[in-house]
Amino acid sequence: MSRQLFRTLLILAGILPPHTAHALAQDTTAAPQDAFWVAAGLGVGSEDFAGDAGVSYQHGIHLFSFRVAASAGLFDDQFSDIALLYGRATRTARDRYRAGAAIGLAAVDGCVGGSLFGDCQHRRTVVGLPLEAQLAWLPATFLGFGLYGFADFNRTRSFAGVTLSVQLGRVR
């Protein structure tokens, strides 16, 4: 009897996978498309004000960003970076929200000691470690609104900021 059971299991093993694969092929949930967008934002930073602009591309959970971020005082120091980042982000075909974080490499520039009546002293360009975190609401496939947090750690002066941003492109 155990031989008969073994043969039955082998036959079922040979029959079920094609039927199971066919049933899975009927799944109607669409795979998410790649997303890409341009974004810009204004907010508060470690030097008073903050701003950012960038381009992002998302493939699955992989997030690639190129950004320019700055933090500047009204009559004071100002620092900015140009950065290339890689990270991870949430992703499904129907999500109206996205969360992501990334780290990368940046060129940092800035000046210190500026005032209303005098120029600030330029600091030479150094390499920085940029970070970003973003939370976005995606009400349409081409439009998003979000919070964008950034930081850059470097040997001249580290800086950070949080901005309200607008995203345009294929955001979801």
Distance CA 139, CA 136 (A): 10
Query: Model confidence at 16, in pLDDT bands (50, 70, 90)?
Result: very low
pLDDT at 50: 96
> Would you call 115 helix, strand, or coil by DSSP?
coil
The CA–CA distances, whole Å, from 130 to 78, 97, 105 equal 16, 23, 6
Q: Give percent above pLDDT 70 in the chain.
A: 77
What token pair was written down for 43?
A: 């907010």
Domains of the chain: 35-170 (2.40.160.20)
- C-alpha torsion 134→140→142→147, nearest 10: -20
- The pTM score is 0.77
Q: Please, what is the Cα angle at 61 between 60 and 63, to 5 degrees?
A: 100
Distance CA 65, CA 18 (A): 41
**Between β-strands 35-45 and 48-59, what pairing exists: parallel, antiparallel or unpaired?**
antiparallel
Q: What is the mean pLDDT of the chain?
A: 85
Distance CA 6, CA 12 (A): 10
Least confident of 30-34, 89-93, 132-136: 30-34
Which position has the higher pLDDT, 95 or 146?
Answer: 146
